[in-house]
Structure formats: structure tokens, C-alpha cells
Amino acid sequence: MTVQGVRRLPLKLAIFLALCALPGLGAAHLAFSGVSWAPLLLYPLSSVVTAALYGYDKRQARRQGPRIAEKVLHLGELCGGWPGALLAQQLLRHKTRKLAYQVPFWLIVALHQALWLMPLWLAGHAA
């Protein structure tokens, strides 16, 4: 399976799925335990919106038009759109080489992982 322009696709897909596993399972657990469907709905919706923002920004970069502010892209990622942002980065080859952009992006991804790990860790220590 190849997607034009994406190097090491099997490895990147494995990493993507691993990163999505914890938030996905946590959000599904909240939804199916009756706590809240919001996270389960928020991640896909935010991902689509954030990926669309990346696509628009990439088009504007090529046309030398007005761009989307990086803080807006990061806000989309922070609101749960980081999976869509990660896919858009790879598929569009956009924002992948700019270290000043990647550091906050990966901190946002790590924050989401930590937020889903924390309840599991606390539950393990409460027993």
C-alpha cells in the first residue's frame, strides 16, 4: 500500500494507530459507559476541521495568499484535531520540517496521551 509522497507508510501508519489507541479507547470507554459521548465525537470532528485548515493553508502557501496563523492550527490540534493534523502533515507534506512548529505540535500530542493515561494511572493506585 502506497500513498504518493508518503515515505515509510507502514511505519507511519503503525505510529499513527498507536498514538490514536489510548485517546480512542478512553473516549469509547467514556461513551459506552454512559459518561459522555463528547470526546468520541470531538476527536473525529476536530480532526476533519483541522485537516481542512491544513489543506487550506497549504493551498494558500502555494498561491502566496493569506495564511492561517500557526496558533489557529495549534488550537485545532489542542481541541482534539491532532490526528487529522498528523495525517494532513504527512499527506500534504506541510509543516513537517519546521522545528518551531513541530515542537508545540508534539507537545499537544503528548498532552492528549497524558490526559488519557492519568485516569488509568490514578485508578491503578487507588486499588
What CA–CA distance (Å, rounded) separates 42 from 28?
11
Tens of pLDDT, residues 50-94? 999 999 999 999 999 999 999 999 999 999 999 999 999 999 999
CB 55 within 8 A of CB 92: yes
What CA–CA distance (Å, rounded) separates 82 from 121?
23
C-alpha cell at 76: 485545532
- SS3 annotation, the chain: CCCCCCCCHHHHHHHHHHHHHHHHHHHHHHHHCCCCCHHHHHHHHHHHHHHHHHHHHHHHHHHCCCCCCHHHHHHHHHHHHHHHHHHHHHHHCCCCCCHHHHHHHHHHHHHHHHHHHHHHHHHHHHC
CB neighbours of residue 54 within 10 Å = 25
What CA–CA distance (Å, rounded) separates 37 from 64?
40
Tens of pLDDT, residues 100-110? 999 999 999 99
Stretch 38-59: mean pLDDT: 97
pTM over 0.85: yes
